[in-house]
Structure 1
Amino acid sequence: MLKALFLVLLPTVMVFAQNQDSIFIKKIYDETLAKGEAYDNLRVLCKSIGPRLSGSTGAKKAVEYTKKVMESYGFDKVFLQDVTVPHWTRGSKEEAYFIKDGKKINVPIAALGGSVASSKSGLMAEVIEVQNFKELKDLGEQKIKGKIVFFNRPMDPTKINTFEAYGGAVDQRGGGASQAAQYGAVGVIVRSMNLRNDDFPHTGSMRYAGGGMIPAAAISTNAANELSRTLKSHPRTQFYFKQNCQTLADAPSHNVIGEIIGSEKPEEIIVVGGHLDSWDLAEGAHDDGTGCMQSIEVLRTLKALGYKPKRTIRVVMFMNEENGLKGGTTYADVAEKKKEKHLYAIESDSGGFTPRGFGIVGNDNQVNALTAFKPLLSPYGLHEIGRGSGGADIGPLAKTGTVIIGFKPDSQRYFDYHHASNDTFETVNKRELELGAASMAALVYLLDNLN
């Protein structure tokens, strides 16, 4: 009899719980959209601090600023975690040009992060264009030695997921210099990782892995198109570029951490975060100032609503995602040594655009548990909830069984700004930013109440 009664009442209990969740999620969105502070905090980060490459003065100021913001919100605990980071500097602005029909064509160019400098007088050599590493190998040393290799494979415009397009092209930026050096190239220039045709060169990390260290730089997509056309009619065109970058000794820095301690299971941790460092060309608004300010806003919103989490909710500003991932790996190593129990980790590192959903890295049961949230989240435009990618900073936590979750905003405009000088505060829409923060807060609330 009792079993039968339970089965009758169970659907009613589930509906009641869902209604309670819906009511609180609405409160989260109301608070964030009406009283949110992420946009104003982002303005300070971008306009008063600006570029924040690891090891720089800007990175240090960003650490101090975000710690102060968290303290002002009265989180239960705010602290710094020591991290040793790479310290690469660009030096004075790069120069580049090629000669076409007797005219000097200036080229927008930016050294790739981690590259060596050219000589003080710069580098001039004939250019040879390739699309991929196989083509490079087929040409061989005889045709490449003494030349500048021009990697000109565009991001695939047919990919609706622009991160998939990025993944299909970025190997030429990351490993092109080492590959070309094996065949005697004296330098490398790479088409910017950008779907749009414009005049902004996009920097980004590269690595040397044997074969010699030759200077490497990105040129804008418009310049890449012009150079490619020129090489078809003038295959012996010479290209000049000069860059003044250098790698200094590793520098001390910090992850910035704040938390609200759980009332029932404080030893169980839900992390939400973004990376505080940015490339040096611009303000790092979408990459990843938006993710950082959204993550802080998650805790601010829950606290403002008087919510007492069952589990500890922690926000982390990771340092050094762009050129080393030292913040993420250090955080995971410390967590493992302390035997901390991280249940879920959410990262926002895809820009501050309109929310679409969440990508999940976990086993079938874990993924199914989160996809069950769709009825509660879809009224807010969060339809894309399922298997996907998480985030670089939180990825190292997966080894301890943590479910890794990536916040997914609309991706169509992200690579217009990614790693380029136009990644500024003005490109961020306040409402889209706040919708993202509310979406992440809603998910944190649901995860806190799961099981």
Structure 2
Amino acid sequence: MNKFLGVLLLLSSFSLFSQSSDDEIQVKNIYNTALTNGHSYQWLDHLSNEIGGRLSGSLNAEKAVKYTKEQLEELGLDKVWLQPVMVPKWVRGPKEVAYIEAEPGSKNEVPICALGGSIATPKEGLKAKVIEVQSLQQLDSLGEEQIKGKIVFYNRPMQADLINTFRAYGGCVDQRSAGAREAAKYGAVGVIVRSMNLRLDDYPHTGTMSYGDLPKRKWIPAAAISTNGAELLSKMIKWNLDTKFYFKQQCEQYKDVESHNVIGQITGSEFPNEIMVVGGHLDSWDLGDGSHDDGAGVVQSMDVLRLLKETGYKPKRTIRVVLFMNEENGLRGGRKYAEVAKQKGERHVFALESDSGGFSPRGFSFDASDAAFNQVLAWKPLFKPYLIHYFEKGGSGADIGPLKNNEIAMAGLRPDSQRYFDYHHAANDTFDAVNKRELELGAAAMTSLIYLFDKYGVKTQPQPKIKG
């Protein structure tokens, strides 16, 4: 009996070792291929330098749809198609201008940009006294008497002592998204928002804003000011409470237009009805060329399918790359994909998103059951040689969010985020800011995770037994 148990233990240990060894070899093969024969960087080069910024509803966005569809077709996938989706069309217009007037006749020009979705100023521009606030709540304490007829200047910076820069971003982005709506309720004539950026520079950072259910007649123009500009404006207001601010922007909102999600698929050999998604958003803001946000995620996701084919791996489950349209100012693409999947009764078991820039990958955050998360933790030794160490419960991604249910496991790639908001939504988010090797390491990490979930499936939470 003891000998029999010993043999079983030996065979079990050999099986586990063999399994682990096979996975180590495949993950190493993925990394080697990504770093010596990756395609993500050359795809990003074209998206960024040949097409440029890809704001939803723009000609460049449609060029990007056409280009990425062609590239996926060249990979020899089982299926490539376009999924129609209606998206907003907002146009920035000519470059915005602004200056601070601390006393009559003095003009200190500062860099600004219209926030996405904002209305234009009057044709001649808008000039008024400025009142500085640190939060939406502060408006309530000031009231209409102190705000009416003025430009509200939101100047709450990102919290510098937070290591997680996305938390710092989340802690102040309400100024941008809801600032105009709330200030208009007290009679403000315009809004200027400090850019969501941890460093001091001259780049204004755009981003979406909303008027909510505010009547259109009460809408006011909203713009972002660079962090250096915000510092200067704050100092001038302290020096002279009668300081005025002038800005002019000519943006315009048009009717919705049709665009597309781009989808490519490798059909599973054993479980074709179990679908795994990897993706990023194809649209970007218009100031730069969207290399980090989210050209990097797009090309990394495309390369996941190519790397699986290049390394000779045949997926058991259906793996899709989805390049979502309109994450930046509507999330229409993500919602449409989930809507169609539900209509078709498709079963999604895993989804991975890359939308945090093309910097060195550090790991993944998971929105998953304890069973699925513990499964991932057991794979940590496979990632250790590649300096992937961050495996935590947390958010996944905006575009895959609408797929969430009790069954699916979701994950987000987590690159080093310390420099991400230096570029986010700004004119310096360009191809030269992306490091080729870092981009390829991210693609390899994503491919490795997809491979493991495909090979072993997604563990589900045990259901409690019902006593009868």
Superposition TM-score tier, normalisation by shorter sequence? over 0.9
TM-superposed CA distance for 1:135, in Å, is 1.1
Match of 1:62 in 2: 64
The answer (yes or no) to whether the contact 1:371–1:386 under 8 Å persists in 2 is: no
What are the Cα deviations for residues 219-251 of structure 1, in whole angstroms up to 9, with x where unaligned?
A: 000000000001001111000011111110001
Query: What is the rounded CA distance, in whole Å, between the counterparts of 1:183 and 1:3 in structure 2?
Result: 78
The answer (yes or no) to whether the contact 1:310–1:448 under 8 Å persists in 2 is: yes
Which residue of the other structure, out of 260, 264, 271, is the alignment partner of 2:270? 264
The answer (yes or no) to whether the contact 2:102–2:244 under 8 Å persists in 1 is: no
TM-superposed CA distance for 1:114, in Å, is 0.6
The answer (yes or no) to whether the contact 1:97–1:105 under 8 Å persists in 2 is: yes
Alignment of 1:30-429 (within 5 A): 30-100=32-102, 102-211=105-214, 212-399=218-405, 401-429=407-435
SS at match of 1:287: helix
What are the Cα deviations for residues 288-319 of structure 1, in whole angstroms up to 9, with x where unaligned?
A: 00000000011111111121111111101000
The answer (yes or no) to whether the contact 1:91–1:244 under 8 Å persists in 2 is: yes
Query: What is the rounded CA distance, in whole Å, between the counterparts of 2:101 and 2:181 in structure 1?
Result: 27
**Residue identity in the other structure for 1:128:** I
How many residue pairs match? The answer is 451
Query: What is the rounded CA distance, in whole Å, between the counterparts of 1:118 and 1:5 in structure 2?
Result: 80
**Residue identity in the other structure for 2:142:** L
Query: What is the rounded CA distance, in whole Å, between the counterparts of 2:209 and 2:291 in structure 1?
Result: 22
SS at match of 1:399: coil
State the TM-score, normalizing by the size of structure 2: 0.95
TM-superposed CA distance for 1:16, in Å, is 1.2
Query: What is the rounded CA distance, in whole Å, between the counterparts of 1:3 and 1:145 in structure 2?
Result: 83
The answer (yes or no) to whether the contact 2:149–2:187 under 8 Å persists in 1 is: yes
**Residue identity in the other structure for 1:20:** D
Match of 1:21 in 2: 23
SS at match of 2:366: strand
**Residue identity in the other structure for 1:31:** T
Aligned-CA RMSD value: 1.1
What are the Cα deviations for residues 320-350 of structure 1, in whole angstroms up to 9, with x where unaligned?
A: 0000000000000111111111111000000
**Residue identity in the other structure for 2:56:** S
Query: What is the rounded CA distance, in whole Å, between the counterparts of 1:54 and 1:170 in structure 2?
Result: 21
**Residue identity in the other structure for 1:278:** S
| Overall identity of the aligned pairs, in % | 59
The answer (yes or no) to whether the contact 2:102–2:242 under 8 Å persists in 1 is: no
**Residue identity in the other structure for 1:178:** R
Query: What is the rounded CA distance, in whole Å, between the counterparts of 1:237 and 1:27 in structure 2?
Result: 62
SS at match of 2:404: helix
Query: What is the rounded CA distance, in whole Å, between the counterparts of 1:427 and 1:166 in structure 2?
Result: 20
Distance change (3 Å), C-alpha of 1:15 and 1:292: same
SS at match of 1:206: coil
SS at match of 1:449: helix
TM-superposed CA distance for 1:116, in Å, is 0.8
Query: What is the rounded CA distance, in whole Å, between the counterparts of 1:181 and 1:300 in structure 2?
Result: 50
Q: Which structure 2 segments of 5+ residues have no match?
A: 458-468
State the TM-score, normalizing by the size of structure 1: 0.98
Q: Which structure 1 segments of 5+ residues have no match?
A: none
